[in-house]
Amino acid sequence: MTQPRIGPRSFGSNWDKLTADDIRNIASRLHTNVVANSLKPLNKYTAAALYGSYTDIRLSEKRNAGSHTLRLALEPWPGDAFTAHWGRRDPWRSLCGPQQLKLLCLAASSFHAGSLKAAIAASGVGLTSEVVEAAAAAGDLQACKLLVNAGCDCSFRAVALASAFGQLHILQWIWWEQDPALQLRDAFGWDADAAAGAFPGMDAAGHACAGGQGHVLTWLEAGLPLPTSSSSSPASDAAVACGSDQGEGQGQGQDQDQDQDQDQDQDQDQGEGQDQDQGEGQGQGQGEGHAAAAAAGRPGSEVGAVNPASDAYPFCRFHNMMVAAARGGHTALLDRLTDPRGRYAQLLRHDPEFNAFKWQDLLNSVAQGPCPVEVLSRYCEEAIVPWHMGDHDVHEPVDMSLGTGAFAALLSKSVASEHDWRGKAAWLRRALMLKLRRLAPRHVRVPGARPLTQEEADAELFGQLEEADAAAVRRVDWQSWFHFLRVCLQEAARHADFEERCRYLCTLAGFAAQRWKIPVAEGAAHVGNVDVLRRHMDALSPEEEVDLAAAAGGWLEEVAASGHAAVLRLLRQRLGQRLGLQPRHLLLAAQASPLHDMRELIESVGQGGGEAPEEEPAPEPGWAEEDEDEETEVGELDAAETGEGLSNAQGTDDDEDDGEWRVGDVDEDSESGSDGAEGVVDAVEGREAGVVAGGAGSGRVWSEVFSVLARRGADVALLRYLHERRGAAIDLVAVAEGNCVECCEWALAALQRQRQRQQQQQREEPRPGEQEQGLPAFTLGHIWSLGSRGNLAAAAWLLERGLVAAPLCGSSTSGGGSSSSSSSSSAAARLPHPADILEQCMQGPYAALGFSGAHVANWVRLWQYCRSCGPEQAEDGGCGGGSLDWARLVEYRLPAHQLAWLKQQ
């Protein structure tokens, strides 16, 4: 959606009569993107009235569906401004590969074709599957078609995201695309076997249930019928998928929805409204009629609509659907799946795999998810699941019956719940006592006595139990605490009231308060909940801090590997040398932590006493950045190139919805380059523990940290700090893998200065036998590796700078040394045709690298990217290649849609 245009015509001739306060009042009622992009540039008077505010254009928002969390384009999208700014290559130079990819994904989900085309042309990254996945999740069909026609990599995750986010028209397009040259089902890995549930992990129905998308499930239940309408609305597509044969199932579903509405609070009603409005309960009783109606299928396909009979839903798949709906809190959809008169009634009644263990798994999901307590109570009724309580102390399920042991798991799950954990926990304990009290005589209350509070009523109920039953309740409380520690600790640790939850269960179990303090710190550290951990450590006594330091040794490495550098920093600040921070912890944290958290951890090591990684004075707080923070001028769109923009680009927490024009929402948490860092930790394991406390080996540690962070796309400020303050060696290969041209320029300049200083020292003080360090020489294998992984900008930069061994052009390439003297030649003139590079790589020493369709497509994109870099173009018959070269390239095994794209080049 492109943002509306605001101008004087919107207010008639009265615009000039508005005061500055009037303009600010109008701006406060508009979206910030509209104000920053349309209202402020209107005229000088309006710009002056709004000066100092609305300086950022937000580009993204976080959206959740099931287990999927994505950042997609924010509406209104500043399409024209984005195209004008990011359609040039210069703004992309300061961004690293993960940031470039994230911005490209935002353009793919923006419903603005111009933004997507501009980003594809100028970003300098390959079209990975994440791009089409973002478009599929947003429901932008035109973007999906554009990306497929551009040879973008595809994956089943796009199908999963479209199912979870309810984008039925995307699913219908993938399944029923008529162009045989594309073969979309194969491209997205969604063939008949996957649709029929042969691979439970590739289950579109399960993802639809996780996202609460009843209309998608209805279409899948109907056999994936051919759409008969050109409408792309999910609701209308669901109606088309269901047709007019709705049978008795629709009436049953509506009755369930009405009953469910009475049990849910207002928030839950709103959350389930989409399920009810978009075809809940419509799929029952439908069958082969839709498959016959859609038998035509696409040309060359062996299957059109799939058989929607019960054999298409094996129990393992159906159970996953129920659990996914319960875990997501989609109670209306859960009622539809468990309806005793519904489509899956036979599975519920007769399938031998459906036993008490499976039902307890479902109840655990209801207890832990956002379902309200009323839903939990309804699904625990005797009419739905029998409870075997006669022996007072039954801890294991018997046949289809659940015992007291199920209450321990349910109680621990409810305390980790996302919604009303206190209400669920109180109801479960009361339900346990009521079920046990049926076996004991009831006490009659005196008429006219005052009403009891809930706590008093529970205490009275507990007092009415026989000793064996009371012992069973105490045993459930005790077991729930240990089940919580073993299974639910990290889930509960994500909540702000984590301490209160732990205290509640620990008190029920009858343990002293000290028993829950260490688990609180461990759980908060494992999930990176710094606020809870800081608040908890503030209340610890010196003796308890000693206990925490001793316990942290058992899980510190796991916390570092999970990417929680902020937790390591806090623990080190509070515990000092008692923490035992080692080089391997820094390296593990560097591989996955947000870059701004890693920067703060590196900055804190060696300050304020404690261990220091090398023998040097403690660095001054702050960073030696070249640019000062300046307020963005009115209408300025180039904030990403200022020091402020760079700082925000690297320092944005992915948990905050602060996506801004300055690319603040770009997620630097990427796995890019992590493969190269896996062996680094092993190399450090054998070093002495004193490296972190100082010593000669500390420079090597920081050099390895430099390489890891450079591959992940660290900015110039962080890399310069590691090099200048920590003595890290510059790894230009790792910097190139980060795909940030600005970082590559800095690294090359620093290496050149270092080389000049070495030459000068050699002239002043000759040292026989000392070898001069030259600039790194990249080979054809390096360029192949960068290009095939989508790092087009860095590969083109290396070619332009003449850092690649020559000659490259032609299939008879021979080795050579560094060719910095030929840096004036264009990248296009130095890059061989894709057919030649593949022939060399598959026959030469690079054959072990292998190749795939993605590698071939990205190499073609690199070749095109280089040809559009400079004014020089390769001559016909040279590196440009003719029809024979392209014919050789087409012979390689590629996905059909990439082959079709390749034939157009």
Higher local confidence (pLDDT), 755 or 680 = 755
Per-residue confidence at 739, pLDDT binned at 50, 70, 90? very high
The C-alpha atoms of residue 660 and residue 647 are separated, in whole angstroms, by 12
In a shared domain, residues 498 and 369:
yes
Listed in sequence order, the DSSP H helices in 713-775 are 716-726, 732-737, 741-764
pLDDT reported for residue 677: 40
Q: 826 and 857 in contact (C-beta within 8 Å)? A: no
Confidence of residue 30 (pLDDT cuts 50, 70, 90): confident
**218: CB partners within 8 A, 6+ apart:** 238, 241, 242, 279, 282, 283
Which of 44-58, 354-368, 373-387 bottoms out in mean pLDDT, i.e. has the lowest? 44-58
Check residue 229 and give its pLDDT.
61
Amino acid 817: pLDDT: 38
- pLDDT of 619 reads 38
Residue 167 confidence (pLDDT) above 80: yes
CA angle 244, 250, 256 (to 5 degrees): 165
Beta bridge pairs of residue 77: 2
Which of 714, 737, 763 finishes a domain? Answer: 763
Tell me the pLDDT tens digit for each residue of 660-700. Answer: 543 333 333 333 344 444 444 444 444 433 344 333 346 78
Whose CA is closest to 275, among 325, 224, 203, 223?
325
Same domain, 726 and 828: no
Answer whether residue 91 is part of any domain.
no
Q: Give the amino acid at 526.
A: H
Contacts of 259 (CB under 8 A, 6+ apart): none
Q: What is the DSSP letter of 303?
A: -
CA torsion, points 763, 767, 772, 773, in degrees to nearest 10?
-110
pLDDT of residue 465: 76
CB 739 within 8 A of CB 100: yes
Band of the pLDDT at 242, cuts 50, 70, 90? very low
Report the mean per-residue pLDDT for the chain.
Answer: 74
Task: Convert the pLDDT of each residue in 384-433 to its tens digit.
Answer: 777 766 544 444 555 556 778 889 999 999 999 999 999 999 999 998 88
Higher-confidence position of 841 and 776: 776
| Same domain flag for 459 and 488 | yes
One-letter-per-residue 3-state SS of 421-476: HHHHHHHHHHHHHHHHHCCCCCCCCCCCCCCCCHHHHHHHHHHCCCHHHHHHHHHH
State mean pLDDT over 601-616: 58
Domain ends where: 714, 736, 763?
763
More reliable by pLDDT, 707 or 782 = 707
502: pLDDT strictly greater than 80: yes
User: Residue 31 falls within a domain, yes or no?
Assistant: yes
- Do 525 and 567 contact (CB within 8 A), yes or no? yes
Chain mean position to CA 29? 32
Cα dihedral 216/221/226/230 (nearest 10) = -30
- Please report which confidence band the pLDDT of residue 526 belongs to, taking 50, 70 and 90 as the band edges: very high
For the residues 862-882, what does the mean pLDDT come to? 56
Taking residue 52's Cβ as centre, other Cβ atoms within 10 Å add up to 9
pLDDT computed for residue 580 by the predictor:
87
**Residue of higher predicted confidence among 746 and 517:** 746
Domain assignment present for 278: no
Task: Look at residue 135 and give its three-state secondary structure.
Answer: helix
Are 613 and 757 in the same domain?
Answer: yes
**Contacts of 787 by beta carbon, 8 Å cutoff, 6+ apart:** 795, 858, 859, 861, 862
Please choose, from the candidates 88, 79, 87, 123, the residue with its C-alpha nearest in 3D space to the C-alpha of residue 105: 123
Same-domain status, 748 and 790: no
pLDDT tens digit sequence for 775-832: 788 887 788 889 888 999 999 999 889 888 754 554 433 333 333 334 434 555 567 7
* Residue 733 belongs to some domain of the structure: yes
CA–CA gap between residue 233 and residue 139 (Å, rounded):
10
CB 436 within 8 A of CB 469: yes
pLDDT exceeds cutoff 60 at 872 = no
Residue range 884-902: average pLDDT? 78
Any domain includes 301: no
Cα 214 to Cα 119, 135, 335, 629, distances in angstroms:
35, 21, 11, 49
Beta bridge partners of 125: 791
Same domain, 522 and 387: yes
At 454 the pLDDT is: 67
Are both 690 and 728 inside the same structural domain?
yes
pLDDT, position 650: 37
Between 257 and 854, whose confidence is greater? 854
d(CA 894, CA 547): 58
Does 725 score more than 70 pLDDT?
A: yes
| In the predicted structure, residue 441 carries a pLDDT above the cut 80 | no
* Beta-ladder partners of 65: 68
Instruction: Quote the pLDDT of residue 548.
Output: 93
Residues 541 and 460 in one domain: yes
Q: What angle in degrees, to the nearest 10, is found between the helix axes of 168-176 and 234-242?
A: 60
Please list the helix, strand and coil fractions of the chain in percent, rounded to the nearest 5, in that order: 60, 0, 40
pLDDT for residue 422: 94
Q: Considering only residues 453 and 729, tell me which one the structure prediction assigns the higher pLDDT.
A: 729
Task: Please give the helix or strand (H or E) that residue 138 lies within, else none.
Answer: helix 129-138
- Compute CA distances 267 → 329, 372, 434, whole Å: 11, 10, 30
Rounded to the nearest angstrom, the gap between the alpha carbon of residue 455 and the centroid of all alpha carbons in its chain is 42
At residue 844, what are phi and psi to the nearest 5 degrees? -95, -160
Q: Is residue 600 part of a domain?
A: yes
**Do 786 and 750 share a structural domain?**
no
Which residues have CB under 8 Å from 699's CB, separation 6+? Answer: 614, 726, 727, 728, 729
Of 365, 450, 356, nearest in space to 406 by CA: 356
Range of the domain at 849: 780-903
- Indicate whether 238 belongs to any domain: no
Assigned token pair, 826:
């264009």
For residue 346, pLDDT beyond 50: yes
Residues near 165 by beta carbon (within 8 Å), at least 6 away in sequence = 63, 65, 68, 137, 138, 139, 211, 213
Classify residue 306: in a domain, yes or no.
no
Query: 750 and 696 in one domain?
Result: yes
pTM for the structure as a whole: 0.78
Structural domains counted in the chain? 4
If asked whether residues 789 and 744 sit together in one domain, one would say no
> 734, 763, 792: which is the final residue of a domain?
763
Contacts of 25 (CB under 8 A, 6+ apart): none
Say if residue 538 is in the same domain as residue 390.
Answer: yes
71-112, pLDDT tens digit by residue? 999 888 988 889 999 999 999 999 999 999 999 999 999 999
